[in-house]
Amino acid sequence: MKEHQNYKKNYPNRHEETKETWKTSEYIWKIRIRAAAHLDYWLKDYFGGLDITHEEDCTTIISGELSDLPEVYGLILQLRDSGIELVSLQLERMPDD
């Protein structure tokens, strides 16, 4: 038990330090996802208000801006858990104006 306490003292949780920098960052994350089928529009609420657009090639574009990196990872996990087949996922860090 004592070894574990020394480890925590010598190696603090780096994730705790970076959580705050993600939220107070001057960046936003612009995301554009292409799904392999037409998705229902009610999923807009499920995906936190991101835009959903049906394309002529029977794919769906999910796009919008996310405020921090944990929100990006959360969306990716939602997509995985929903079983939505992806064609592409583009992510770009943009300065927050």
Burial class (CB in 10 A: 0-12, 13-18, 19+), 29: buried
Q: Quick one: average pLDDT of 91-95? A: 93
* Ordered domains of the chain (ranges, CATH): 25-95 (3.30.70.980)
Partnered with residue 28 across adjacent β-strands are: 94
The pLDDT, as a whole number, for residue 71 is: 93
- Separation between Cα atoms, residue 96 and residue 74, nearest integer Å: 20
pTM of the full predicted structure?
0.71
Q: How much is the average pLDDT of 14-27?
A: 56
Per-residue pLDDT tens over the stretch 23-78: 556 889 999 999 999 999 998 999 989 999 999 999 999 999 999 999 999 999 99
